[in-house]
Amino acid sequence: MTILYLILPLALVFAGAAVAAFAWTVRSGQLDDVETPPRRILFDDERAEAARPPGSFAGDAQSPRPQR
């Protein structure tokens, strides 16, 4: 059973590391919004090249009556 005297502190060090990692994820804001990121993984990168090059937005010329 003497091996316990090595394994137990080692296990607690691992647990401490896990807690530290958790604290880091929280502090860096990764858990502020848990709703949107799971959806982002669904995005497909392939069609990105098919999109028009930047700067093609032409909607600027037309801004009719501000009726809101």
Partner 1 sequence: MTAALHAQATCLHCSLPVPAGRRSAFCCAGCEVVHDAIAGYGLDQYYALRDAAAPAPAQTTAYDYAELGDPAFQRLHVRTDPDGTAHTALYLEDLRCTACVWLVESAPRCLAGVTEVRVDLGRSRADVAWDPAATSLPVIARYLDRIGHPVHPYRGLARDALRRREDRSLLIKLGVAGAAAGNLMLLAIALYAGLFGGMSRADTGFFRWASMAVALPALGFAATPFFRTAFGALRARRLHLDLPLSIGILAGLVWGTANVIRGVGEIYFDSLAMLVFLLLAARWIVLRYQRRASTAAELLLSLTPSRAHRIAAGSGQPGDPASDVAIDVPIEALVPGDLVRVLVGEVIPVDGDVVTGISAIDAGLLTGESQPVEVAPGARVHAGTVNVAAPLAIRATAVGFVTRVGRLVAGIEALSTKAPIERLVDRIAGRFVAVVSSIAVLTLFGWSLTSVAAGAEHAMALLIVTCPCALALATPLAVTVALGRAARRGVLIKGADALERLATPGTLFIDKTGTLTAGKLAVVTWRGDLDAAGLASAAEAGSSHPIARALRAHASPSGSARDVREELGRGISAIAGGHSVLVGSPPWVRRRSRTYPVIEGWIAELVERGETPIAVAVDGAMVAVAGLADPIRDDAARALGALGRLGWVVHLLSGDDERVVRRVGAALGIPWSRCHGQVSPEDKALAVVAARAEGTVVMVGDGVNDAAAMAAASASIAVSGAAEIAIEAADVYLRSPSISEVAATAAGAQATLATIRRNLRFSLAYNLVAGALAVTGLIHPLIAAAVMPVSSLTVLASSLRSKAFRERARPEQAQEHV
CB of 28 to partner 1, least distance (A): 10
- Cα–Cα nearest to 21, from 33, 30, 8, 32: 30
DSSP 32: S
Among positions 30-59, residues that touch partner 1 (CB under 8 A) are: 31-33, 35-36, 39-40, 42-44, 47-48, 50-52, 54-57, 59
Query: Which amino acid is it at 30?
Result: Q
DSSP 64: -
Residue numbers of the site for partner 1 (CB under 8 A)? 1, 4-5, 8-9, 11-12, 15, 18-19, 22-23, 26-27, 29, 31-33, 35-36, 39-40, 42-44, 47-48, 50-52, 54-57, 59-60, 62-64, 66-68
